[in-house]
Structure 1
Amino acid sequence: MDTAHDQAREQDRDPAERDPEERKRRLRRRLERLIGIAATEGNSLVPLRNGDEIFPAMLESIRSAEHTVDMMTFVYWRGAIAREFAEALADRARAGVRVRLLLDGFGCRPIEEDLLELMDRAGVQVVWFRRPLWLSPLKQNHRCHRKVLVVDEEVAYTGGVGIAEEWCGDARDASEWRDTHVRVRGPAVDGIAAAFAQNWAECAPVLFDERDRFVEHEPRGDAVVQVVRGSAAFGWQDMQTLLRVVLESARERVRLATAYFAPDPYFVELLCATARRGVAVDLLLPGRYTDQRVCRLAGQRYYEELTACGVRVWEYQPTMMHAKIVTVDGVAALVGSTNLNRRSLDHDEEVMLAVLDEDFTATLDGHFEEDLARSVRVEGRRWQRRPVRQRLRELSVVPIRRFL
């Protein structure tokens, strides 16, 4: 502990809460009861940072597939990596592997037509999730933002990465985005596969066939994982419950990284309440490199309030920060596709892993520390003196905040 106040707070706490195993047990039961999804034991998770680690691992799994490949993404754009994925998927389909690819009808619009033709000729089953021309304006607003790859029902990937050249490299400069994906083995693969199946069922007539073996999962590690799926709905949904439970359960430290921060007053107050309770809260956001400047303005509107209540706000400097990660007290982590904005929490199909594992969390905390070293902290007093023009820009996006 860094201060006498922290030491006193630690001494006053229920001794059981100081035990990491007891903390994990309590958080697990809260999540299972309040979300209604059982966590699974015996999982192995490998965090993959940036394209240099993420893409080779995903491509290796695809190229080694013997039975099935199920993949969906919100972003499939252009570049050499887009072609490499298309060729890998096509190659497996030609080899007799069942390959299914679900593309979001809005996010994947830039995909090159010749890549679609390549995959179609090879036998890849490509479907589109809610293509805009076919939908009412209301339904168009609800997108499939999940990023999922499941190979042979035994290994799965999820996180924030899209299939495009922006994610290549190692976040060395503005052309190489910063992101995190996770490779999963063990029973939690079923939950990730269910996220794919949920959206595939809307787009295709056949949900499963003789290629699906419905394998039993042997224990592959020690991580406890709950797979939480967020779906477009009116009112409160599971992704909001997930964030609320972990924030209200935190006792020492919360670290949040998100690509798009456009919260509502309720979520801002939730962060502030966590900080006022004595929890160290660090919020890592994109800096000047962002592909959604309007969303950044929506978040900046709350910088003054957040810093005043003790939340430390940081802006990442080298490139676009696209990761979606939360760590809590060194024992739990959330990672997946969900951003801290109204679009993710209210409108889009999302998937998030709630992981109870100290080693996995320590790795993500280490990555967070390295990211903070490349970030600039927002100073509250200085932010209070920001120009009138900046304040007006922030106010201008208020009417559209819920759509960001």
Structure 2
Amino acid sequence: MFASPLWVWLSFVLIAVLLLVIYSIRWHRSPILQVSSESPIDQLMPSLSGLTLSTAVDGNTVDVLQNGRFFDVLMERIRAAQHTVHFETFLWKPGELANRMFAAFIDRARAGVTVRILLDAQGSKTIDKDMVQRLREQGCKVKFFHKKSLYTIGVLNDRDHRKLCVIDGREAFVGGHCVTDEWLGDAEDGQHFSDVSVWLHGPIVHSIQGAFSENWAGETGELFVGDEVFPVLERVGDIPIHAAFAKPENSAPAVKILHHAVLCLAKKRIWIQNPYFIPKVEAIAALAAAVRRGVDVRVLMPAASGSDSPMVQHAGHRHFEQMMRHGVRLFEYPHTLLHQKLMVVDSCWCAVGSTNFDDRSFDTNDEITLGILDRGIAAQFEQIFERYGQRAEEIQLEKWRKRGVLHKIKDNAAYLLNDVL
């Protein structure tokens, strides 16, 4: 028999790889944004949680932590852990903050506490390898989400973008903070970012623990049970919360359904703070419909000069004119990156978490967003909007139409890549 030419074997390999990629891609239908209700959103928590494959649980407390103060509280609580520390994040880069987190984890591991650390393999690719080795030597379990391999080739674009921590199964942190030195300080200059996370107590902590368990089990196969991770949690407050994080097959991820559904249900106000705001056509239509209902719709985001990814902001510019023509008010903050992912609807319901308002977060990444029903927390998020909004520039429609040709070329070119930015 004659030996097959090399190109034949290469063709078989290429076909096999393509089939593997196609097999592993998560396809789903996007939600049709025509949902409506006469009920105010403060009566729709069961609907919002049910649509996002979750359950709203009452009896919680929420503390809002901004900027570098978040890590002061987080590390204090980590060092107080008695049984377990579960930590999950996207970015981890060498620096002062990484060293402080390392020391806190080592301290607990030496005290006999079980420490599980889940890092995204792409976002944390620059982590000090010696640091990882030392963490493991001291007893910390460190795993990386979707490391490059033939097994993961079809999901390498699927990143773990969640930022959360659960301590002793009794308290949890969720938000946008990453482990890089830009998250220290108080957003006082272009080198220090603004962000918001929340510190949670009450029954909702079980849901956050479940979100961590989902990806931990996916990477390690390890399950954990018992009072040290899922203790009985009594009511400690009066705030209802639900957690959206599930990604079902052939249906839109829970975070996408949540963010899109509330646009349709607002009666008075939609205030959005998001660092990467690239809404799809259907979301723009829902925002326009909200304005026609008399809803005050505002979006606060970093300007290209303040963003850590100017290309993303330029991609968002593609639809600015369309949104402004429909009455959506847009604000850009030029001084530093505003990384908080917050929404407030009708001054009573609000959302916080890791989810950006773009296709990567809605369709591809693993994310988590909390829906919180509480006027006090909503008011704090509105105050954060107003704090940065005072130094932001509101984009004016007529001036925007006259922006330069080069600017428009950048906007349209960047938008071509919006699915993967």
State the TM-score, normalized to the length of structure 1.
0.91
Alignment equivalent of 1:365, drawn from 382, 386, 389 = 382
Q: What's the counterpart of residue 5 of structure 1? A: none
Q: What's the counterpart of residue 21 of structure 2? A: none
Alignment equivalent of 2:94, drawn from 78, 92, 113 = 78
Give the Cα separation in 2 of the matches to 1:397 and 1:178: 24
- 2:90 maps to a residue whose letter is F
Q: What's the counterpart of residue 412 of structure 2? A: 395
- Check if 1:267 corresponds to 2:287: no
- Check if 1:222 corresponds to 2:266: no
Deviations 1:376-398 (A, max 9, x none): 11111100111111111111123
Deviations 1:231-287 (A, max 9, x none): 386552211210122111111111001111222212222222222221001101111
Equivalent position SS for 2:158: coil
Residues 36, 209 of structure 1: alpha-carbon distance in 2 compared, 3 angstrom cutoff: closer
- Check if 1:242 corresponds to 2:258: yes
Residues 209, 42 of structure 1: alpha-carbon distance in 2 compared, 3 angstrom cutoff: closer
Give the Cα separation in 1 of the matches to 2:150 and 2:186: 38
For 1:288-327, what aligned pairs fall within 5 Å after superposition?
A: 288-327=305-344
CA contact (8 A) 2:53 2:254 kept: no
Give the Cα separation in 1 of the matches to 2:77 and 2:365: 27
Equivalent position SS for 1:400: coil
Alignment equivalent of 1:141, drawn from 157, 162, 165 = 157
- After TM superposition, the structure 1 stretch with the greater mean CA deviation from structure 2, 108-117 or 151-160, is 108-117
Alignment equivalent of 1:64, drawn from 80, 90, 93 = 80
- Check if 1:280 corresponds to 2:302: no
Q: CA deviation at 1:63?
A: 0.2
Q: What's the counterpart of residue 47 of structure 2? A: 30
Give the Cα separation in 2 of the matches to 1:173 and 1:331: 32
Give the Cα separation in 2 of the matches to 1:235 and 1:190: 24
Give the Cα separation in 2 of the matches to 1:134 and 1:115: 26
Q: CA deviation at 1:371?
A: 1.3
CA contact (8 A) 2:344 2:350 kept: yes
- 2:62 maps to a residue whose letter is L
Give the Cα separation in 2 of the matches to 1:210 and 1:261: 41
Q: CA deviation at 1:209?
A: 5.4
Q: What's the counterpart of residue 173 of structure 1? A: 189
Q: CA RMSD in A?
A: 1.7
Residues 230, 390 of structure 1: alpha-carbon distance in 2 compared, 3 angstrom cutoff: farther
Q: What's the counterpart of residue 4 of structure 1? A: none
Residues 230, 344 of structure 1: alpha-carbon distance in 2 compared, 3 angstrom cutoff: farther
Equivalent position SS for 2:194: coil
CA contact (8 A) 2:240 2:374 kept: yes
- 1:66 maps to a residue whose letter is Q
**What are structure 1's unaligned runs of at least 5 residues?**
1-13
Give the Cα separation in 2 of the matches to 1:343 and 1:101: 24
Give the Cα separation in 2 of the matches to 1:261 and 1:213: 36
CA contact (8 A) 2:277 2:358 kept: yes
Q: CA deviation at 1:113?
A: 1.8
Equivalent position SS for 2:307: coil
Q: What's the counterpart of residue 330 of structure 1? A: 347
Q: CA deviation at 1:318?
A: 2.1
- After TM superposition, the structure 1 stretch with the greater mean CA deviation from structure 2, 253-262 or 389-398, is 389-398
- 1:256 maps to a residue whose letter is I
For 1:185-264, what aligned pairs fall within 5 Å after superposition?
A: 185-208=201-224, 212-231=228-247, 235-264=251-280
Q: What's the counterpart of residue 15 of structure 2? A: none
Deviations 1:89-142 (A, max 9, x none): 011011100000001011011111222122112110001100124555431010
CA contact (8 A) 2:49 2:244 kept: no
Q: CA deviation at 1:316?
A: 1.2
Alignment equivalent of 1:110, drawn from 120, 126, 131 = 126
- 2:142 maps to a residue whose letter is V
Equivalent position SS for 1:369: helix
Residues 385, 39 of structure 1: alpha-carbon distance in 2 compared, 3 angstrom cutoff: same
Give the Cα separation in 2 of the matches to 1:232 and 1:120: 33
Give the Cα separation in 2 of the matches to 1:316 and 1:233: 37
Structure holding more helix per residue = 1
Q: What's the counterpart of residue 45 of structure 1? A: 62
Equivalent position SS for 2:416: helix
Give the Cα separation in 1 of the matches to 2:151 and 2:360: 18
Identical columns (%): 33
Give the Cα separation in 2 of the matches to 1:167 and 1:262: 23
Q: CA deviation at 1:230?
A: 4.3
Deviations 1:306-328 (A, max 9, x none): 11111110011221111100001
Residues 211, 186 of structure 1: alpha-carbon distance in 2 compared, 3 angstrom cutoff: closer
Q: CA deviation at 1:185?
A: 0.3
Deviations 1:123-171 (A, max 9, x none): 1000110012455543101011001100010110010000110100000
Larger radius of gyration: 2
Residues 230, 310 of structure 1: alpha-carbon distance in 2 compared, 3 angstrom cutoff: farther
- 1:74 maps to a residue whose letter is F
CA contact (8 A) 1:98 1:211 kept: no
